[in-house]
Amino acid sequence: MQKFRVTHRFEFQSIIPWYAQWIREGRLKVSSAWNTAGIRFTVQDPCQVVRKSLGDPLAEDLRFIVKAVVGEENFIDMAPNFSNNYCCGGGGGFLQAGYPQDRRAFGRMKFDQILATGAAYCVTPCHNCHEQIQDLAKHYGGFYHTVHLWTIICLSLGVLGENERHYLGEDLKGINLPAKKTDAG
């Protein structure tokens, strides 16, 4: 819109700063208390919202959220990170373009970057990143799992249902399950 000087009356926003604000205000009551096993997490900075749009402030909010839900001591950052983080190779339509070998070859650098953290999970707020990073783990034999940001927030809130855990590892599948309703209540 800026490039073609299109007049508009809206602002592009991401949900990530809203999550961070709600956590800071105590309106979104997340907790890392569920992570007693010390499961380690890293985070993917999506190209579109970090490098191409909203920049490092969004990446800082993303890390704040992840640390709040998994525990600061259980967060391992990638290097490089923030606006300098590597692209996963799945964005810009490449994930759906029909060239999986090329996409995976491009994503190999991201795969190696995730492995270098030693994290068991890579948190992604972007669907394209999630699918690409998950595919890279399957294709190259990675030991990490991929989890969407909202999924890990829900897990920390104790509202992630049993049927919403199919792509989590065995270490998270039974953690912090919501209480089952009984006939009595």
User: In the chain, which residues have pLDDT < 50?
Assistant: none
Tell me what pLDDT residue 154 has. 96
Q: What domains are defined for the chain? A: 38-173 (3.40.50)
The reported pLDDT for the residue numbered 138 is 95
> d(Cα 178, Cα 174) in Å, to the nearest integer?
10
Residue 14, amino acid: S
CA separation for the pair 102, 98 (Å, rounded):
9
pLDDT of res. 98: 84
Q: What is the pLDDT of residues 85-99, one digit of tens each?
A: 988 888 877 778 888
Report the pLDDT value the prediction gives residue 116, as an integer from 0 to 100: 97
Question: Most distant CA pair in the chain: distance in Å?
Answer: 62
Q: 45-80 as b/e, with b when 16 or more CB fall inside 10 Å? A: bbbebbbeebeeebbebbbbbbbbbbbeebbbbbee
Token reading at 144: 């990490």
Model pLDDT, residue 183: 62
pTM of the model: 0.89
